């Protein structure tokens, strides 16, 4: 129950985030270091994210499967960069069934290796390709500093793993799935992500190239929200995913992998939340509409509740995710605050005067106060009116997040200016960039900002690197990041 | 590809089972001892099982959530019976992030303990009850002898965990969820399970009482296919799930847990499969209908394919899970065998003569050969005809499985007769039973048969125990079991 609201963002953004997660009952800390419990409200949001992604995966020809949680340690060691990247984060099972194991098993941090092994058994001929498999599951990465949803020792995600006969097909797949993530983020989560390529410093351990969707959070920081990797033949060579091509010659397959996790819940919280709390995009919100009946005298209770129940039933039958808040122990003002904190996109208020007019009041979560209210919405046709309003709210949230992103994206001409932006307003810094990985390291050390991506869209053309002074057509987005 | 069919059941039932699982590509062995890979066809079946169960869970007021995979070893030790039951099967994480852990973590074999801990934090007052949570996830139990789907070191399942203010409510919940499992098994999987109570010897480690749905496999063995446990206050006491009741007194909650796993896939295989291979109930089949175009001359190909595509599109638009098999490299006979092996409930054959009549042929998987064919089904209204036929097949499969179960359920008057049944025809043995747990142990040792359950339905009334000679009104079903 919402006894008190959340800490204002301006006071302590980090505390605001934790308050939102805990007070709205999205998740809770667990007694296991770095692991969280995803509570029903948070899990329901995750289920909606899953459904929206899974539909897109299937529409693009993918199928789901399931591979073992435990992976022999030796598998990870086969790809040199891969094990170097993941070794420090491994959870290791050394005992099973009361005995010490001959070979330790790691709890999967990601599944390229075990899946690569299976693909080598399934792929014999070009006819067996492509393999387009996705897996929904849990992974474990031992993290030192954790944060609910954003970085937890165990997290839920999906990992797609595909194998192709040609380099071109695999590269196309990598881009296709990045596009699926971007489409999901923009059109379901209302987050205007930037698509681009990761710098070598930031790419996936074992990949040839990594691509990302980067989202801007309410404090101007970036959040990497989904990644798609072109793995070349790196994993195919070490796991021997070999096939007879149409010329009857042996060739190694080309593979990709792509993943999106419960981190996306953190992205949604921080892209849209305000000082009232959570603000959920209608397409993903577990509850899209809450109906709050309002009465003062006992005599009013019956008629108000009757209409509230009728409206709730009508909306439920129309496929709207609706809840009636008929709790007697709380007054209307308390309920308004409570549902606003929980981010329900649309509130329907019904009082005695509304009953007389056979109408209701709409109150938008994204525009608080009188400005966001529509009075006298007729009960006849309520389902259509609600659907239209949810579409309007979804579009409004995307528009606002886009404006915010653009207003907080800066260009700079020098490293001095770069530092001033980071110390001042913050946000994304979009620059011409000709630096090296070592330059990136130095900038990170000095400013904590990293290259988030080399964006695909770069209307700027050629220009001068703010750091090296060299001419280049490469654009980079720098930012502080979670 | 189905180069060869499966081993006949009469020749080697166990080999038949493994053949079916592997040749239909439901699952494959993995390089990790005791763990399997669930391939897309098997996973798709599991997704349909999940959807059918999840719908029922939500209709009965449950919500989903997610708790940590890793559980501190000390948690398991708190409930004495629980740790005794699970200790031999634990996988233990001793190292994380490159260091030895202060306290080892076990990979969850089941989640009563960690969930009990969280409930103790969430429950303060009777107003916080009941908690009705389900979790979809993976668990690990170190098994010595594994078998694809039936017993694997890691498996997928759902585990429901509820907490209630009163004993009565918790007992009701335990029965309600057993009923949900039975309803699912009978009406979705077409398996006529027997509902009953587990003997003390067979109950869940830490439960007051365990209930089960028991299914009969094609070889007469039993398969425990879902269980629901009344945990009393056992876990509430050790995890301190305490609340202020309406009289303002502290009381311990009453809890339940219930689970159903990927084992159900094994149940479906063995309850319905025949010497052709898999036979899937239409309501759960990943592919409900396969359309096979048939032609000899190239001139026929175009018209036949056109009608086949039209029928496929019509059925797809009507929500039927349909596949068109237009592969050129295989002839119709090969395709018939292939899809029969894969258990697709209904095949639609379309040849040149069918095109002339604007009609198709239905061929049922559950009735092979001419007897199961319907000729001249008009293309107009094909979707309704298919839907009706799928309902007929579903009902036919349940009826056949019920007949089989009843024909293979025996009553015996003496232990001698009991042994003769087990050595001869096999199946369920339904008897009056007044024996002790020690008697059960002895019978198991001598015959390998165990008490599968004390069935709820027992029209027999009082009688004489076949083993002890005592009068009793308790009925037990004995059988060999997986």
% of chain A with per-residue pLDDT over 70:
99
Residue numbers of B between 84 and 113 with CB closer than 8 Å to A: 87-98, 104-105, 107
Q: Using the beta-carbon criterion (under 8 Å), do A118 and B28 form an inter-chain contact?
A: yes
Do residues B214 and B318 both lie within one domain? no
CATH number at residue A106: 3.30.930.10
- What pLDDT shows up at residue A355? 96
Question: Of the candidates B39, B89, B93, which has its C-beta nearest A91's C-beta?
Answer: B93
Tens digits of per-residue pLDDT, A235-265? 999 999 999 999 999 999 999 999 999 999 9
Question: CA-CA distance, B327 to B322, in Å (whole number)?
Answer: 15
SS3 B320: coil
What would the mean pLDDT of B248-265 be, rounded to a whole number?
Answer: 98
B343 to chain A, minimum CA–CA distance in Å?
19
Question: Of the candidates A40, A90, A154, which has its C-beta nearest B65's C-beta?
Answer: A40
Question: Of the candidates A47, A89, A97, which has its C-beta nearest B97's C-beta?
Answer: A89
Mutation target vs A (from B27, B59, B69; most A CBs, 10 A cutoff): B69
- What pLDDT shows up at residue B335? 97
Strand locations in A63-153 (E): 63-64, 70-72, 91-96, 99-107, 131-140
Point out the domain boundary residue: B334, B356, B390. B390
Lowest mean pLDDT across A84-88, A215-219, B2-6, B53-57: B2-6
Tens digits of per-residue pLDDT, A22-33? 999 999 999 998
Do B160 and B256 contact (CB within 8 A), yes or no?
A: yes
What would the mean pLDDT of B107-136 be, rounded to a whole number?
Answer: 97
Residues 6+ apart with CB under 8 A from B287: B321, B322, B323, B342, B344
| Residue A144 contacts B, CB cutoff 8 Å | yes
HSE (CB half, 13 Å, CA atoms) of A134?
Answer: 23
Do B254 and B166 contact (CB within 8 A), yes or no?
A: yes
Chain A residues touching residue B71 (CB < 8 angstroms): 32
Question: Of the candidates B44, B70, B89, which has its C-beta nearest A97's C-beta?
Answer: B89
Q: Judge whether residue A4 has pLDDT over 80.
A: no
Sign of the alpha-carbon torsion through B137, B141, B144, B145: negative
Question: CA-CA distance, B211 to B454, in Å (whole number)?
Answer: 9
Any domain includes B403: no
Question: Of the candidates B43, B92, B138, which has its C-beta nearest A93's C-beta?
Answer: B92
Question: CA-CA distance, A302 to A345, in Å (whole number)?
Answer: 27
Point out the domain boundary residue: A272, A305, A338. A272
Mean predicted lDDT score pLDDT of chain B:
96
- What pLDDT shows up at residue B158? 98
CA angle, residues B1, B3, B8, in degrees to nearest 5: 115
Do B148 and B29 contact (CB within 8 A), yes or no?
A: yes
Do residues B356 and B417 both lie within one domain? no
Total domains in the fold of chain A: 3
**Residues paired with residue B293 on neighbouring β-strands, in sequence order:** B350
Q: Higher pLDDT residue, A198 or A328?
A: A198
- What pLDDT shows up at residue B199? 97
Residues in chain A: 482
- What pLDDT shows up at residue A144? 86
- What pLDDT shows up at residue A2? 44
B104 to chain A, minimum CA–CA distance in Å?
10
Any domain includes A407: no
- What pLDDT shows up at residue B4? 73
A96 to chain B, minimum CA–CA distance in Å?
4
Q: What is the DSSP letter of A6?
A: P
Do residues A116 and A80 both lie within one domain? yes
- pLDDT band at residue A140 using 50, 70 and 90 as cut-offs: very high
Position of tokens 């199946």?
B427
Q: Judge whether residue B51 has pLDDT over 50.
A: yes
Question: CA-CA distance, B39 to A128, in Å (whole number)?
Answer: 14
What would the mean pLDDT of A304-309 be, rounded to a whole number?
Answer: 98
Position of tokens 């489409």?
A183
Question: CA-CA distance, B156 to B77, in Å (whole number)?
Answer: 24
Residue numbers of B between 58 and 77 with CB closer than 8 Å to A: 63-72, 75
- What pLDDT shows up at residue B1? 42
Mean predicted lDDT score pLDDT of chain A:
96
Do residues A240 and A319 both lie within one domain? no
Point out the domain boundary residue: A272, A302, A325. A272
Question: CA-CA distance, A180 to A157, in Å (whole number)?
Answer: 15
- What pLDDT shows up at residue B69? 98
What would the mean pLDDT of A440-465 be, rounded to a whole number?
Answer: 97
Q: Using the beta-carbon criterion (under 8 Å), do A95 and B94 form an inter-chain contact?
A: yes
Backbone torsion region of residue B429, taken as left when φ is above 0, otherwise alpha when ψ lies between -120 and 50, otherwise beta: beta
Q: Judge whether residue B388 has pLDDT over 60.
A: yes
Position of tokens 């078998």?
B147
- pLDDT band at residue A207 using 50, 70 and 90 as cut-offs: very high
Any domain includes B264: yes
Q: Judge whether residue A460 has pLDDT over 70.
A: yes
% of chain A with per-residue pLDDT over 90:
96
% of chain B with per-residue pLDDT over 70:
99
Show the domain range for B21: 13-272
Sign of the alpha-carbon torsion through A147, A153, A158, A160: positive
Do residues B344 and B295 both lie within one domain? yes
Do residues A341 and A388 both lie within one domain? yes
Angle, helices B382-407/B298-317, rounded to nearest 10 degrees: 80
Tens digits of per-residue pLDDT, A311-323? 999 999 999 999 9
Do residues B438 and B324 both lie within one domain? no
Strand locations in A169-309 (E): 194-197, 209-216, 222-230, 242-244, 250-252, 254-261, 289-293
DSSP string for B215-258: EE-TTS-EEEEEEEEE-TTHHHHHHT-EEE-TTS-EEE-EEEEE
| Residue A36 contacts B, CB cutoff 8 Å | yes
HSE (CB half, 13 Å, CA atoms) of B225?
Answer: 34
Q: Using the beta-carbon criterion (under 8 Å), do A95 and B92 form an inter-chain contact?
A: yes
Sign of the alpha-carbon torsion through B115, B117, B121, B126: positive
Q: Judge whether residue B111 has pLDDT over 80.
A: yes
What would the mean pLDDT of B223-240 be, rounded to a whole number?
Answer: 97
Do A413 and A469 contact (CB within 8 A), yes or no?
A: no
Question: CA-CA distance, A184 to A190, in Å (whole number)?
Answer: 8
- What pLDDT shows up at residue B144? 86
Q: Which of B210, B203, B204, B179 is nearest to B193 (CA)?
A: B179
Do residues B99 and B169 both lie within one domain? yes
- What pLDDT shows up at residue A3? 54
ipTM: 0.96
- What pLDDT shows up at residue B129? 98
| Residue A424 contacts B, CB cutoff 8 Å | no
Backbone angles phi, psi at A12, to 5 degrees: -165, 100
Question: CA-CA distance, A176 to A119, in Å (whole number)?
Answer: 21
- pLDDT band at residue B3 using 50, 70 and 90 as cut-offs: low
- What pLDDT shows up at residue A1? 42
CATH number at residue B300: 3.40.50.800
CATH number at residue A422: 3.30.110.30
């Amino acid at each position: 129950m919402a006894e008190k609201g959340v800490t204002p963002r301006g006071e302590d953004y980090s505390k605001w985030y934790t308050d939102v997660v805990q007070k709205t009952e999205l998740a809770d800390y667990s007694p296991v270091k770095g692991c969280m419990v995803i509570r029903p409200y948070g899990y329901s949001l995750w289920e909606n994210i899953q459904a929206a992604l899974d539909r897109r995966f299937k529409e693009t020809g993918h199928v789901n499967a399931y591979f073992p949680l435990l992976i022999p340690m030796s598998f990870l060691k086969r790809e040199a960069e891969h094990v170097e990247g993941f070794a420090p984060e491994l959870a290791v099972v050394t005992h099973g069934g009361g005995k010490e194991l001959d070979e330790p098993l790691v709890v999967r941090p990601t599944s390229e290796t075990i899946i690569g092994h299976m693909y080598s058994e399934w792929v014999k001929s070009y006819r067996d390709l492509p393999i387009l498999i996705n897996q929904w599951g849990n992974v474990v990465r031992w993290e030192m500093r954790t944060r609910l949803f954003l970085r937890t020792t165990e997290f839920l995600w999906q990992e797609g793993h595909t194998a192709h006969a040609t380099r071109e097909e695999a590269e196309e797949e990598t881009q296709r799935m990045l596009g699926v993530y971007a489409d999901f983020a923009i059109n379901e989560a209302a987050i205007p992500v930037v698509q681009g390529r990761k710098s070598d410093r930031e790419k996936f351990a074992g990949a040839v190239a990594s691509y990302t969707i980067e989202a801007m959070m309410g404090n101007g920081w970036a959040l990497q929200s989904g990644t798609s990797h072109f793995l070349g033949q790196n994993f195919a060579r070490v796991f021997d995913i070999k096939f007879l091509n149409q010329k009857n010659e042996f060739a190694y397959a080309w593979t990709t992998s792509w993943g999106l996790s419960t981190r996306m819940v953190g992205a949604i919280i921080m892209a849209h939340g305000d000082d009232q709390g959570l603000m959920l995009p209608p397409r993903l919100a577990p509850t899209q509409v809450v109906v709050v009946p309002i009465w003062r005298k006992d005599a009013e209770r019956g008629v108000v509740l009757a209409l509230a129940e009728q409206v709730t039933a009508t909306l439920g039958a129309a496929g709207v995710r609706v809840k009636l808040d008929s709790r007697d122990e709380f007054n209307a003002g308390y309920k308004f605050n409570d549902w606003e904190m929980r981010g329900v996109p649309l509130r329907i208020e019904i009082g005695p005067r509304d009953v007389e007019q056979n109408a209701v009041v709409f109150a938008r979560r994204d525009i608080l106060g009188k400005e966001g209210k529509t009075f006298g919405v007729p009960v006849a046709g309520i389902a259509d009116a609600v659907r239209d309003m949810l579409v309007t709210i979804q579009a409004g949230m995307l528009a606002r997040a886009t404006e915010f992103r653009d207003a907080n994206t800066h260009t700079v001409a020098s490293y001095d200016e770069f530092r001033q932006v980071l110390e001042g307003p913050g946000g994304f810094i979009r620059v011409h960039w000709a630096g090296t990985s070592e330059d990136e390291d130095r900038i990170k050390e000095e400013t904590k900002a990293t290259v988030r991506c080399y964006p695909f869209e770069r209307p700027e053309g050629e220009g001068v690197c703010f750091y090296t002074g060299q001419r280049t057509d490469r654009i980079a987005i720098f930012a502080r990041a979670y």
